[in-house]
Chains A and B, each alone.
Chain A
Amino acid sequence: MKTDLSPTIKTALYGLMCVLLIPFVFPTWWMITSSVKPISDIFAFPPDLWPRRFDFTTYGKVFELQPFAQQYWNSAYIAAIVTVGTMAFSSMAGYAFARIKFPGADFLFTIVLLGLLIPSEVTIVPLFQIFLKWGMINTHWPLILVPIFGAPSVFATFVMRQFFIALPGELEEAARVDGLGRFKIFWIIALPLAKPALGAVAIFTFLHSWNLYLEPIVFISAKNMFTLPQALTQFTDAYGGAMWNIQMAAATMTALPVLLVFIVAQKQFVEGLAHTGLKG
Chain B
Amino acid sequence: MAPVTLRAVKKSYGDAPVIHGVDIDIADGEFVVLVGPSGCGKSTLLRMVAGLETITDGEVSIGPRVVNDLDPKDRDIAMVFQNYALYPHMTVETNMGFSLEHRGASKAEIAERVNWAADILGLVPLLKRYPRQLSGGQRQRVAMGRAIVRNPQVFLFDEPLSNLDAKLRVVMRGEIKSLHQRLGVTTIYVTHDQVEAMTMADKIVVLNAGKVEQIGAPLDLYDRPVNQFVAGFIGSPSMNFIGGKITADGFAAAGIVLPLPPGLAIGDAVYGIRPEHFELSPAGVAATVLLVEPMGSETQVTMTLGEHQVIGVFRERVKAKPGETIMVRPDPASVHLFDATTGARIN
User: Which residues of A approach B to under 8 Å, CB–CB?
Assistant: 168, 170-171, 173-180, 184, 189, 192-193
> Closest Cβ of chain B: how far from A71's Cβ, in Å?
39
A189, B81: Cα distance in complex, Å: 16
Q: B71–A176 contact, CB under 8 A?
A: yes
Q: B102–A184 contact, CB under 8 A?
A: yes
| Contact A179 B102, CB 8 Å, known A170-B85, A192-B89 | yes
Q: B98–A168 contact, CB under 8 A?
A: no
> Closest Cβ of chain B: how far from A201's Cβ, in Å?
18
> What residues on B are CB-neighbors of A177 within 8 Å?
50-52, 72-73, 77-79, 99
Chain B positions 64 through 95: 1 when the CB is less than 8 Å from some CB of chain A, otherwise 0: 00000001110001110111011111000000
> What residues on B are CB-neighbors of A184 within 8 Å?
102
A177, B51: Cα distance in complex, Å: 8
Q: B102–A168 contact, CB under 8 A?
A: no
B98: contacting residue among A173, A176, A178, CB under 8 A: A178
> Closest Cβ of chain B: how far from A191's Cβ, in Å?
10
Q: A179–B103 contact, CB under 8 A?
A: yes
> What residues on B are CB-neighbors of A168 within 8 Å?
83, 85
Chain B CB within 10 Å, residue with most, of A173, A175, A179, A189 = A179
Q: B99–A179 contact, CB under 8 A?
A: yes
> Closest Cβ of chain A: how far from B96's Cβ, in Å?
11
A192, B51: Cα distance in complex, Å: 25
| Chain B, residue nearest A180 (CB) | B102
Chain B positions 179 through 192: 1 when the CB is less than 8 Å from some CB of chain A, otherwise 0: 00000000000000
> What residues on B are CB-neighbors of A180 within 8 Å?
73, 102
A177, B73: Cα distance in complex, Å: 5
Q: B73–A193 contact, CB under 8 A?
A: no
A272, B257: Cα distance in complex, Å: 69
A170: contacting residue among B51, B72, B81, CB under 8 A: B81
A192, B98: Cα distance in complex, Å: 15
Q: A176–B73 contact, CB under 8 A?
A: yes
> What residues on B are CB-neighbors of A171 within 8 Å?
85, 87
> What residues on B are CB-neighbors of A189 within 8 Å?
87
> Closest Cβ of chain A: how far from B184's Cβ, in Å?
21
> What residues on A are CB-neighbors of B146 within 8 Å?
174, 178
Q: A173–B73 contact, CB under 8 A?
A: no
> Closest Cβ of chain B: how far from A168's Cβ, in Å?
6
A14, B155: Cα distance in complex, Å: 61
| Chain B, residue nearest A176 (CB) | B72
* Additional A-B contact list (17), CB under 8 Å, known A174-B79, A177-B78: A168-B83, A170-B81, A170-B83, A171-B87, A173-B72, A173-B79, A174-B85, A176-B52, A176-B71, A176-B72, A177-B99, A178-B73, A178-B99, A180-B73, A180-B102, A189-B87, A193-B88
> What residues on A are CB-neighbors of B71 within 8 Å?
176
A-B contact pairs, 28 of them (CB 8 A): A168-B85, A170-B81, A170-B82, A170-B83, A171-B85, A171-B87, A173-B50, A173-B72, A173-B79, A174-B79, A174-B81, A174-B87, A175-B87, A176-B51, A176-B73, A177-B51, A177-B52, A177-B72, A177-B73, A178-B99, A178-B146, A179-B99, A179-B102, A179-B103, A180-B102, A184-B102, A189-B87, A192-B89
> Closest Cβ of chain A: how far from B316's Cβ, in Å?
48
> What residues on A are CB-neighbors of B72 within 8 Å?
173, 176-177
A184, B103: Cα distance in complex, Å: 13
> What residues on A are CB-neighbors of B79 within 8 Å?
173-174, 177
> Closest Cβ of chain A: how far from B82's Cβ, in Å?
7
> What residues on A are CB-neighbors of B78 within 8 Å?
177
A231, B41: Cα distance in complex, Å: 66
A184, B85: Cα distance in complex, Å: 17
> What residues on A are CB-neighbors of B86 within 8 Å?
174
> Closest Cβ of chain A: how far from B114's Cβ, in Å?
14
B164-221, CB < 8 A from A: none
> Closest Cβ of chain A: how far from B330's Cβ, in Å?
46
A184, B51: Cα distance in complex, Å: 18
| Chain B, residue nearest A171 (CB) | B85
Q: A173–B99 contact, CB under 8 A?
A: no
A192, B89: Cα distance in complex, Å: 7
> What residues on A are CB-neighbors of B85 within 8 Å?
168, 170-171, 173-174
> What residues on B are CB-neighbors of A178 within 8 Å?
73, 98-99, 102, 146
> Closest Cβ of chain A: how far from B98's Cβ, in Å?
5
> What residues on B are CB-neighbors of A170 within 8 Å?
81-83, 85
> What residues on B are CB-neighbors of A179 within 8 Å?
73, 99, 102-103
